[in-house]
Amino acid sequence: MKILITGANGLLGQHLTRLLLQQGYTVIATGKGDARIRMDEWGDRYIYHPLDITDAVDVQRVMSAVQPAVVVHAAAMTQVDECELHSEQCERTNVIGTSQVLVDAEVYSQHFIYVSTDFVFDGEQGNYREEDELKPVSYYGFTKMQAEAITETSTIPWAIVRTCLVYGNTLQGTRNNIITWVKGSLEQGKAIKVVADQWRTPTYVEDLAKGIALIIEKKATGIYHISGKDLLTPYDIAIQTADLFGLDKSRIEKVDAATFTQPGRRPPKTGFVIEKARKELGYEPLSFAEGLRKMFEKA
């Protein structure tokens, strides 16, 4: 079975590509520019196409050529502040891009999976379930909410995967995440300020990839919260990271979000209830401590 992944150059995209190849699928990986990692050992089961999801002609060209059975749409503009400052680009990528990918998926594919975010919630409640009301507080979250609504109009079976604060091994060409930033900063002897008044359920990237693979395997439809199971603040995450590597915790300053001037608002408390994914998919994530150790065992 052929599966097309948008955003395959990103952290999730790279891990998902590798997992699906290991499971025997043919993967059409797409992303901006050239492929950032090589998967030559998989032969003709791995195909890479440069793809600009904001270009309808480009999307139609690739989709008509490969005609995948499943599309996993992970490409997005995700930097909250950049989205706030460059709202037109954000809308073009996150909303119009999703619409264009879905239009062609409806012609050539049988299952559409959209990767969304905890930032569709306002963060006043926390521990969100799939059916809770969406109230984004940033333009990034607003565009992801719009893209979810577009996905729900699909004429083919669809699933929405919301996830939360993804961390894991940084593969070639991907941005730092909170773990690698904390570890790198402390190893260089830098003092860092980390917020302690925001709560998340951080998600190990390999768990997220496995959750999406389960949705593909079971042909599942609807909305699923796929995240870790531990509710932590970024400060908690930084302390656990320092402890694991024996780094100097005194260089980590506990602050609140008001310390930083940021264009895009962050929801104060998100985090997910993942019982639906456990029950319907058989999804079970690692603890944060387990994910942290596994991440660096593989580094």
Question: Bridge-partner residues for 151, per DSSP?
Answer: none
Q: Write down all domains in the chain, each with its CATH number in brackets.
A: 2-166+202-228+278-285 (3.40.50.720)
Partner residues linked to 250 by β-bridges: none
pLDDT score recorded for residue 298: 61
Q: What does each of the 299 residues of the chain score in pLDDT, given as a tens digit?
A: 999 999 999 999 999 999 999 999 999 999 999 998 888 899 999 999 999 999 999 999 999 999 999 999 999 999 999 999 999 999 999 999 999 999 999 999 999 999 999 999 999 999 999 999 999 999 999 999 999 999 999 999 999 999 999 999 867 666 678 898 999 999 999 999 999 999 999 999 999 999 999 999 999 999 999 999 999 999 999 999 999 999 999 999 999 999 988 999 999 999 999 999 999 999 999 999 999 999 988 65
| Structure confidence at residue 299 (pLDDT) | 54
**What pLDDT is recorded for position 189?**
96
pTM > 0.85: yes
